[in-house]
Amino acid sequence: MMFVITENIKDFLNLQKLAYVATVSHDGRPNISPKGTVIGWDSETLAFADIRSPDTMRNLKDHPDVEINVIDPLSRKGFLFQGKASIVEDESVYAKILNHYRQNGVKSKINSIVLVAVSNVSDVTSPLYDVGISEEEIRSKWQKHFANL
């Protein structure tokens, strides 16, 4: 069963420019790789570009299961996506997604594009919300933190 990627989720992904993609290597070791290109391609599929991801791409050939975590660093809210990845082989699909990236400012060389058929999406929130701290307070705390770096 596929999970619906809403317009809200797509908008969130467009705002957040850093995601972490988790794969499994041929010997069963976890691999986490940062990605700056995760997008909601359609209502059931995410996409990301292989710009400098040799381990991720090698792992996906043996084990297509992935998890992708995208969090807003200020609100400490986001999403965890689970699904099966496939490397785009259809030239017309590749061209459409590549065009999307180019129109949205991605200038790096793209070696390949990965589609992820999403099977589950979970909300991710900081435990601070559990104790009654508001989003405004959390945002303020992290804005101050990052301003002082």
Average pLDDT in the 1-12 region?
85
Residue 2: the pLDDT is 55
How far is residue 53 from each of residues 33, 111, 113, 129, 133, measured CA to CA in Å?
8, 9, 11, 34, 38
Residue 144 binned pLDDT confidence (cut-offs 50, 70, 90): very high
Query: Which range among 1-10, 19-28, 44-53 shows the weakest confidence by mean pLDDT?
Result: 1-10
Please give the share of the chain, as a percent, with pLDDT higher than 90.
Answer: 95
Task: Please state the pTM of the whole predicted model.
Answer: 0.93
When divided into structural domains, the chain yields a total of 1
94 within some domain: yes
State pLDDT tens for residues 7-37.
Answer: 999 999 999 989 999 999 999 999 999 999 9
Residue 3: the pLDDT is 67
2 within some domain: no
- Mean pLDDT rounded to a whole number for the chain: 95
State pLDDT tens for residues 100-140.
Answer: 999 999 999 999 999 999 999 999 999 999 999 999 999 99
CATH of the domain at 52: 2.30.110.10
Contact present, 59 and 23 (Cβ < 8 Å): yes
Range of the structural domain that residue 48 is part of: 7-147
DSSP 44: S
1 within some domain: no
Q: Residue 57: how many CB atoms within 10 A of its CB?
A: 16
